[in-house]
Amino acid sequence: MKNKISKFIFILVGIIAIYLLRTNFSEYNLKKTVSACIIAQKRTSESFDLQKAKKFCEEAIRKQKEK
């Protein structure tokens, strides 16, 4: 019985850890994706404005994420 309880607690702690890590990596991935989009905008645009590119990229990525 004690062995089953310890396995249950171990699995529960593992699930919580995975959930917390997933949310941290999600934010990290969003930042990296926005950065890559901004770099692509800079390379393809003749007149580059950082604020406009950042706003455009964030909106585009959020729209894609909702799908």
Number of domains, the chain: 1
The Cα–Cα gap between 14 and 29 comes to: 22
**Structure tokens that stand for 41 in this block:** 């905008």
Instruction: Give 34's contacts (C-beta < 8 A, 6+ positions apart).
Output: 54, 57, 58, 61
Q: Tell me the three state secondary structure of residue 48.
A: coil
Instruction: Give residue 48's domain range.
Output: 2-66
Q: Among candidates 12, 59, 65, which has minimal Cα distance to 37? A: 59
**Structure tokens that stand for 19 in this block:** 């959930």
* Total-model pTM: 0.59
pLDDT at residue 18, rounded to an integer: 84
pLDDT at residue 24, rounded to an integer: 65
Mean pLDDT of the chain: 85
Q: For 30-41, how does the pLDDT look when each residue is reduced to its tens digit (9 = 90+)?
A: 888 999 999 998
